[in-house]
Amino acid sequence: MKGAHIAVDAVTHTYRRTGKAAVADISFEVRPGEALALVGRSGCGKSTLLHIMAGLIIPSQGGVLVDGLRVGAPSPKWVVMFQQPSLYPWMSVAQNVALGLRFTGRRREIAARVPELLRLVELSDYADRNVQDLSGGQQQRVALARSLAPSPEVLMLDEPFSALDAFTRGTLQRDVRRIAKDLGITLVLVTHDLAEAVVMADRAAVLSANPGRLCEMVPIDLADRDNLRSPEYADARNRLAAAYEKAAGRELTRFADPAGEDHPLPSSPLAKPASAT
Ligand SMILES: Nc1ncnc2c1ncn2[C@@H]1O[C@H](COP(=O)(O)OP(=O)(O)OP(=O)(O)O)[C@@H](O)[C@H]1O
Ligand SMILES: [Mg+2]
């Protein structure tokens, strides 16, 4: 496996039902094998952007290129994991993991690949268990193994751990990052949890809302991601929090100042208050 390069190019999307832009003029790149977090407060357009990157929504303007090819539909090159693992409850762990291979016509690989994937997510002892008997965290591990089965080049996650307790969440965050790095997969992670972004991502794209715009790219360079008490961890966390607050401040500015004079984003010359759109 190798990670794909992703280019998000001037993406704007307006949902037909509301007629309001959910995201506006967003451009950035994700390097092969990089882990990128999309952060911002609720409703800023993180899921919309991820769906566009996955080919589940075609944007009103602009587009996304994966390894130079325009994204127009879902593809086996990338997989998306959501908050709910959506496993088949009447199947065993191994059968659920095999589904991705079954659907992509690679049945012959199942016997060798499924044990390997279960080892990767540390569920070897659970192969024959019914998924209903597993904890939430274990179910997300099954979903992760199923996602990795067809050897995707990009793994996209939309707040997949937010329903889990803090300890399970912490373990999965580290494991997913480690697995993606070991396999060389590009990781795109949506979260509003800044600690999660710091633990998992190499960079964080901070979005402001109404409509969602890219405010800042925050690099997260940590030598040791296991030490949550290190000064460099605190520094990364503080820098990200500052960018997050700045993004929220810009939203307030947009509301308070219809002329947008305090709104320095070049991509937002009009910066109308949300109520005027
Ligand atoms: N299917 C839809 N039809 C119309 N508007 C939508 C649709 N999905 C999202 N929106 C709107 O687009 C904006 C961005 O929503 P989105 O779900 O992308 O935000 P988010 O950052 O993922 O939020 P959260 O953190 O709560 O999941 C919101 O104003 C939302 O109401
Ligand atoms: Mg969302």
Distance between CA atoms of residues 109 and 96, nearest Å: 14
Do residues 108 and 196 both lie within one domain? no
Decide if 112 is inside a domain.
Answer: yes
Domain interval for residue 201: 6-77+152-276
CA neighbor of 136 nearest in space, from 171, 187, 101, 178: 171
Contacting residues for 274 by C-beta, under 8 A, at least 6 apart: 210, 254, 255
CA atoms within 13 A on the CB side of 140: 24
Q: What is the pLDDT of residues 223-236, one digit of tens each?
A: 888 888 899 999 99
What single DSSP character describes residue 128?
T
Q: What is the number of domains present in the chain?
A: 2
Q: Which long-range contacts (CB under 8 A, 24 or more apart) does 12-16 make?
A: 12/59, 12/60, 12/61, 12/62, 12/211, 13/45, 13/48, 13/52, 13/57, 13/59, 13/60, 13/61, 14/60
Do residues 33 and 52 both lie within one domain? yes
Task: Indicate left, alpha or beta for 196 from its phi (over 0: left) and psi (-120 to 50: alpha).
Answer: alpha
Do residues 89 and 58 both lie within one domain? no
Per-residue pLDDT of the chain (277 residues; tens, 9 = 90+): 589 999 999 999 999 999 999 999 999 999 999 999 999 999 999 999 999 999 999 999 999 999 999 999 999 899 999 888 889 999 999 999 999 888 888 889 999 999 999 999 999 999 999 999 999 999 999 999 999 998 999 999 999 888 888 888 899 999 999 999 999 999 999 998 999 999 999 999 999 999 999 999 999 999 888 888 899 999 999 999 999 999 988 665 555 554 444 333 333 333 333 443 3
Taking CB atoms and a 6 Å cutoff, what residues make up the pocket around ligand 1? 15, 17-18, 22, 40, 42-48, 192
CATH of the domain at 262: 3.40.50.300
Å from CA of 43 to ligand 1 middle: 5
Do residues 97 and 157 both lie within one domain? no
Pocket test for ligand 1, best of 39, 41, 44 (most atoms within 8 A of CB): 44
Do residues 39 and 53 both lie within one domain? yes
Do residues 195 and 261 both lie within one domain? yes
Do residues 209 and 235 both lie within one domain? yes
Decide if 1 is inside a domain.
Answer: no
Pocket test for ligand 1, best of 20, 26, 48 (most atoms within 8 A of CB): 48
Do residues 30 and 111 both lie within one domain? no
Decide if 91 is inside a domain.
Answer: yes
Q: What is the pLDDT of residues 39-53, one digit of tens each?
A: 999 999 999 999 999
pLDDT at position 211, please? 95
Which one-letter amino acid corresponds to residue 163?
Answer: A
β partners of residue 79: 155
Do residues 246 and 202 both lie within one domain? yes
Distance between CA atoms of residues 54 and 51, nearest Å: 5
